[in-house]
């Protein structure tokens, strides 16, 4: 299973799906919805990682690579979500400076 944080992020929030219709006007909550979905995905990945880590420590997991991959996937996805959030905040701050 390859580690692909971007596809994990996109798959969890519906980003990147091909659409044939024009994008609808947003009421400003699209970014919040995308970020919220990404956070839910990160929480699910972290939960899976924690479960596998416990199984690895107790000896119930035969393949340690599964736990390592789950842990790395959760970490990379969290870093991606944090980077997207930071870019969004930076963009907001830049817009606010332009209005001043």
Which pLDDT score, from 0 to 100, does residue 8 have? 47
Q: Length of the chain in residues, anyone?
A: 100
pTM score? 0.65
Asked if 3 contacts 76 with a C-beta cutoff of 8 angstroms, the reply is: yes
Which pLDDT score, from 0 to 100, does residue 2 have? 46
User: DSSP label at 23?
Assistant: P
Helices and strands in the chain: count of H runs, count of E runs: 3, 0
Q: In this model, does residue 23 exceed pLDDT 70?
A: no
CB atoms inside a 10 Å sphere around CB 87 = 10
């Amino acid at each position: 299973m390859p580690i692909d944080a971007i596809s994990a992020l996109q798959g969890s929030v519906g980003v990147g799906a091909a659409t044939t219709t024009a994008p609808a006007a947003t009421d400003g909550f699209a970014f919040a919805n995308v970020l919220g979905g990404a956070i839910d995905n990160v929480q699910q990945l972290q939960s899976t990682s924690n479960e596998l880590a416990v199984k690895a420590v107790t000896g119930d997991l035969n393949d340690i690579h599964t736990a390592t991959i789950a842990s790395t996937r959760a970490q990379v996805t969290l870093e991606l979500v944090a980077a997207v959030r930071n870019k969004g905040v930076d963009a907001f701050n830049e817009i606010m400076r332009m209005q001043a």
